[in-house]
């Protein structure tokens, strides 16, 4: 984030405009032969910053604020190009980068209106990825979405896309990998597999059905599984 406001002369004549050698989209502005601040090329053009132009304190504040917006916007685009982000995540990212709350909220609002940030789309995409690519249960996914700042209404919509049968099949596939290595399953083995599924966020009702199915497959009986804790919303 630019900190030029603190060191720039409050007003005067622009005596030099110099392109930065390592950042060709940035320009150094000198006022009365003294370095004052640097701006993006877009800001340079928008405010017509050229040698011989006079700037006063209010103009300087407007210029630096506009350039900070441009800087925050560019940083945000870089951030979301590598991974989708929620509104809360991007606000936190910008604040950690040193941008003020007003700047961060302005940029998030702009990106939201442009379709670059969409919490509902994010929630749906993450839910599908966690459930079918990483075999995570709805309880794990729910907690993650809430942590990332997704509203309860949008979390509910995203989880509505997971039907019980599909979730059961994912949990079963995960359990089979571990279960297949066990020759003669014991109650302790069942607890371990159930614990794995519970840690993955699968509801207790699904975990019980999976263990019963695996027990039948291994001809190990189908004892009651009262030791599996009920679902907790």
Chain centroid offset of residue 31 CA: 41
C-alpha–C-alpha distance, residues 164 and 144, integer Å: 19
Answer whether residue 150 shows pLDDT above 60: yes
Any idea which of 85-94, 149-158, 196-205, 224-233 has the lowest mean pLDDT?
224-233
pLDDT at 81: 95
Lookup: tokens for 81: 């190009």
Q: What pLDDT, on a 0 to 100 scale, did the predictor assign at position 180? A: 78
Return the CATH fold of 118-162.
Arc Repressor Mutant, subunit A (1.10.10)
Structure tokens at 13: 């004549």
Q: State the burial class of residue 99 (Cβ atoms within 10 Å of its Cβ: 0-12, 13-18, 19+).
A: buried
Which of 108, 143, 106 is closest to 123 using CA atoms?
143
pLDDT value of position 219: 54
Total-model pTM: 0.77
Q: Is the pLDDT score of 30 beyond 60?
A: yes
pLDDT of 199: 96
Residue pair 163/157 in contact (Cβ under 8 Å)? The answer is no
Listed by start position, the domains of the chain span: 4-113, 118-162, 164-233
Q: Degrees (nearest 5) of the Cα angle 74, 119, 105? A: 45
| Token pair of 165 as six digits | 């049968």
- One of 1.10.10.10, 3.40.50.720, 3.40.50.300, 3.30.70.1450 is the CATH number of 4-113, namely 1.10.10.10
Confidence of residue 107 (pLDDT cuts 50, 70, 90): very high
> Can 4-113 and 118-162 be said to share one CATH topology?
yes
Q: What is the pLDDT of residue 222?
A: 44
Residue for token pair 């005067």: 12
Average pLDDT (171-187) is 82
> What value, to the nearest 5°, has the Cα angle with vertex 175 and ends 172 and 176?
85
């Amino acid at each position: 984030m630019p900190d030029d406001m603190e060191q720039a002369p409050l007003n005067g004549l622009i005596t030099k405009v110099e392109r930065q050698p390592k950042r060709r989209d940035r320009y150094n502005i000198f006022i009365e032969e003294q370095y004052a601040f640097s701006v993006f090329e877009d800001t340079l053009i928008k405010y017509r910053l050229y040698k011989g132009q006079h700037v006063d304190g209010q103009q300087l504040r407007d210029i630096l604020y506009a350039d900070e917006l441009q800087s925050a916007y560019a940083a945000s685009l870089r951030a979301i190009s590598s991974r989708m982000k929620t509104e809360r995540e991007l606000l936190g990212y910008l604040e950690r980068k040193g941008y003020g709350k007003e700047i961060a909220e302005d940029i998030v609002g702009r990106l939201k209106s442009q379709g670059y940030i969409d919490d509902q789309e994010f929630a749906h995409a993450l839910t599908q990825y966690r459930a079918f690519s990483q075999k995570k249960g709805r309880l794990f996914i729910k907690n993650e979405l809430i942590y990332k700042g997704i509203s309860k209404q949008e979390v509910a919509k995203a989880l509505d896309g997971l039907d019980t049968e599909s979730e059961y099949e994912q949990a079963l596939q995960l359990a089979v990998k571990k279960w297949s290595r066990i020759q003669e399953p014991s109650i302790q083995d069942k607890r371990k597999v159930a614990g794995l599924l519970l840690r993955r966020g699968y509801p207790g009702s699904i975990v019980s059905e999976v263990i019963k199915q695996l027990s039948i497959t291994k001809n190990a009986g189908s004892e009651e599984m009262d030791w599996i804790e009920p679902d907790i919303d």
